[in-house]
Amino acid sequence: RVAREADRMAGLIADVARAAGEQADASDQAARAVGDMRRRSAQVAQALAEQTRAGREATTAAAHISAQLAALTRAHREHAAAGATVLG
C-alpha cells in the first residue's frame, strides 16, 4: 500500500512539474506578446507623428502655391492693364 501511494505521489509530482513547465511556456509567450505589442505601439506612434508632419508640410505647400497663384494673377492683371494703356 505504501508503494502504491508513493507511485501515486510520484505521478502527482510529475503532473505538477509538467503544469509548471506549461505555465512557464505560457508566461514566455505572454512576455513575447507584450514586447511585440510595445514595438507595434511605438511603430504606430511613429507613423502618426510622420503623418502629422506630412500634413503640416502639405498645408504649408498649399499656402505657398496659393500665394504664388495670387501673385501671378496680380501680375497678369497689371500686364493686361499696361497693355490696354499702351494700346490706348
pLDDT at 88 over 80: no
pLDDT at 25 over 80: yes
3-state secondary structure of 6: helix
Arithmetic mean of pLDDT, 27-44: 97
3-state secondary structure of 12: helix
pLDDT in tens, 72-87: 999 999 999 998 888 8
- Rounded to whole angstroms, the Cα distance separating 18 from 24 reads 10
Question: pLDDT averaged over the chain?
Answer: 95
> Which cell is 36 given?
511585440
Percent of residues, the chain, with pLDDT higher than 90: 91
